[in-house]
Amino acid sequence: MSGPPGGFTVMTTGELLREGTDRLAAAGSETPRLDAELLLGQAVGAGRTAVVAHPEAPVGADAARRYRADLERRAAGEPVAYLRGIKEFYGLAFEVDARALIPRPETERLVDLAGDEVLRRLASSARPPGSRDLQVVDVGTGSGAIAVALAVRLRRVKAVDAVRILAVDISPDALGLARENAVGHAVADRISFAEADLLPPDAGGFDVVLANLPYVRHDAMADLPVAASFEPTLALDGGANGLEVIGRLLDLLPDAMADGGVAMFEIGADQGDAIVALVDAKLPGWSCAVELDLAGLPRVARITRIARPPVAGSA
Ligand SMILES: C[S@@+](CC[C@H](N)C(=O)[O-])C[C@H]1O[C@@H](n2cnc3c(N)ncnc32)[C@H](O)[C@@H]1O
């Protein structure tokens, strides 16, 4: 701490980080130091690395005031991502705010699997030159995380022009944010947006159906970390058994999916058996395989229609 001529006290980044870490630890944050670094980096406009690297740097009064105001909001439970307005997902910076769920790292698994699936289909010998664009839908797009990250991955390997992505959400607010992220990542020309309950009535012929729909059991909502209470309930509450919204989408798959299509849904780590049973009950003759994440936990359900054997004597 030092007192410049004129009277007010100038604090250094190191001092403000200690103050913030103590404040957030007392408030129960699980990552108080990291939170403080991110918030101070935001307040001084220099990023986290710079404030960590220069603990002796003086911080101006306005930046210190902004930092302390954010610390108080964080101490009250507001997620750091909303305070910063940004969240890193799939190596990309997504704009985030209370209009939509903050994208979670576990959802990157779905983007990986979706990208592999799309590229495999585009490379397939069953796909002659001049074929129609591959049709992909992201149901419950939220911030647009899945649709945008997938489009960016496909663009990097020059495959995006052969793919059309429809991003759907029931929330117009979320769709507004998703559009902003698509524009921000320069993929808005390959993604269209629709406000609908699961799927627009006339939508169909999808080769790949992706969804990270709400899957938290209604009675477990109260046990979520306080940060989740700042996110839209519509993005999290999966009804009595957690699989109500996903179950309604399963009902639509026979009409929505192209022949040979695949659906990939993110599920909760304890829902592997439940989703297999639900697919068996709702879609007899279809298959449901559960993909694990790096920790070995069920994370993505891969659902396909098993091709019926040709009827004897038919052409
Ligand atoms: C868990 S969030 C996922 C957001 C984003 N896909 C992601 O992975 O970060 C679920 C999203 O589904 C949307 N949603 C909930 N019910 C829906 C429905 N019946 N039809 C369409 N979207 C729905 C919510 O508005 C929310 O944006």
pLDDT tens for 11-57 read 999 999 999 999 999 999 999 999 999 999 999 999 899 999 999 99
**Parts of the chain with a pLDDT under 70:** 1-8, 307-315
- Rounded Cα distance between 315 and 311, Å, is 9
285: tokens are 């003759």
> Residue 52 C-alpha to ligand 1 middle, in angstroms?
36
67: tokens are 């930092």
Helices (H), the chain: 13-27, 32-44, 48-53, 61-75, 80-84, 108-123, 145-156, 172-184, 244-256, 272-282
- Axis crossing angle, helix 61-75 with helix 32-44, rounded to the nearest 10: 140
Judge if the beta carbon of residue 235 lies within 6 A of ligand 1: yes
- pLDDT at 314 (0 to 100): 47
Judge if the beta carbon of residue 101 lies within 6 A of ligand 1: yes
For ligand 1, atom 27, name the residue with the nearest CA. Answer: 142
CB-CB contact of 174 with 145 (8 Å): no
- pLDDT at 315 (0 to 100): 44
For ligand 1, atom 2, name the residue with the nearest CA. Answer: 235
- Axis crossing angle, helix 108-123 with helix 145-156, rounded to the nearest 10: 40
> Residue 235 C-alpha to ligand 1 middle, in angstroms?
5
CB-CB contact of 97 with 82 (8 Å): yes
For ligand 1, atom 6, name the residue with the nearest CA. Answer: 141
Judge if the beta carbon of residue 141 lies within 6 A of ligand 1: yes
pTM of the model: 0.93
For ligand 1, atom 11, name the residue with the nearest CA. Answer: 140
Judge if the beta carbon of residue 107 lies within 6 A of ligand 1: yes
